[in-house]
Amino acid sequence: MNVAGILLAGGLSRRMGGGDKNQLDLGNRAILDHVIDRVKPQVSTLILNANGDATRFAGYQLPVVADVVDGYAGPLAGILTGMVWAAEHAPDCPWLASFPTDAPFLPLDLVARLKAAIDEQGANMACAMSGDRTHPPIAIWPVELRDDLRKAMIDEEMRKIDRWTARYKIVHVSFDDPGMDPFFNINRAENLEEAERYLAGLKGVA
């Protein structure tokens, strides 16, 4: 599929004491390594949205792109950044998939199922959900809406994804896993411990 992907790592990780929480160790590898392994095969091209010194991610050999709006404006800024980048560097990709970098168990069929739901329902965009909870940063976006999103962020100071997506037809796609929420994310030290236990269980099954 002609879908570009963006890894959202532009936040400040305040709940983990700052820094790049995606670089924390999980199963002897950085959390970000797990995320990349799961999402890279699902997209045509993949970039990393991060602010500050880009060289700290040099080992990943991915384009590192800072927010196109100032002020650490949250995941919506990363999504806009991905849209702008895709329009310039991946013009054959009319869609952008966004992924958090603190969720190491993302579904391997995430992009395919989101895109299928858009096609089936004639929606503008699709967002993942699990149980009764939606996950707004885990979604597929039409690159052609980049100017609309930029205008909303700059002129209206739009910051909440849900407020912006309410203007369009969005479809929510449910993913469930009996062992672990596939969108489980690591915000606190105890989350990392839980992820370690789950990963060890997966290895035990394998």
Residue 69, domain CATH: 3.90.550.10
| Partner residues linked to 170 by β-bridges | 125
Tell me: pLDDT of 153 over 50: yes
Write a three-state SS string for the chain: CCEEEEEECCCCCHHHCCCCHHHCEECCEEHHHHHHHHHHHHCCEEEEECCCCHHHHHHHCCCEECCCCCCCCCHHHHHHHHHHHHHHHCCCCCEEEEEECCCCCCCCCHHHHHHHHHHHHCCCEEEEEECCEEEEEEEEEEHHHHHHHHHHHHHCCCCCHHHHHCCCCEEEEECCCCCCCCCCCCCCHHHHHHHHHHHHHHHHHC
Determine the Cα–Cα distance for residues 167 and 122; give it in Å rounded to an integer.
Answer: 15
pLDDT at 18: 58
Residue 80's pLDDT is 98
The reported pTM is 0.93
Rounded mean pLDDT of 163-178? 95
pLDDT at 15: 46
Q: How many domains, in total, are found in the chain?
A: 1
Domain that holds residue 125: 3-205
C-alpha 114/C-alpha 31 separation (Å) is 23
Q: How confident is the model at residue 16 (pLDDT cuts 50, 70, 90)?
A: very low
Rounded Cα distance between 85 and 106, Å, is 23
pLDDT of residue 162: 96
Is pLDDT at 206 greater than 70 in this prediction? no
